[in-house]
Structure 1
């Protein structure tokens, strides 16, 4: 089953990649409308928010469970928790920056 999945992924990759390249050339030749940039900006923010929400939920839940099991290590866990939250939130900020950059390219 694993070999089938790998073969399927590679086959789709080799079938879809040339189509995307041809579509990009056609859009460049016709001037393009910019809707691709708008879609990219929306996906950047949406997927970054989705990933960050899942990551923050897992981090908070596991930190709470760890503190409940070992209350003496709460200070150490809290420091790691805050550092993890900062790194997770930075991904969301990067997605927002990418969205702003793509928004500037929309005509």
Structure 2
């Protein structure tokens, strides 16, 4: 993988630089140097998010990532590197669509 792949993932999900590094378990020099071949999570996350990005669009996918769902906020799953739970959250997105509910106000 290359820094271009990491950049694509960051843009697709709307991740900040520090979030991308955390998700990949990488340091900035690895990303800048394109030394990410040993990071299978990059290819996995690109593959997992390709179809949802095309289906719902990048703005909706980026908003979904930071919106609380049945398993919590998907960005938190990524930051914990719980890729199985993130994949489940993507399946929920595919099944239910992107649902935003208004918070109850007192």
Superposition TM-score, scaled by structure 1 size: 0.24
> Larger % of helix: which?
1
Q: Which has the bigger relative contact order, CA under 8 A and spacing at least 6? A: 1
Superposition TM-score, scaled by structure 2 size: 0.24
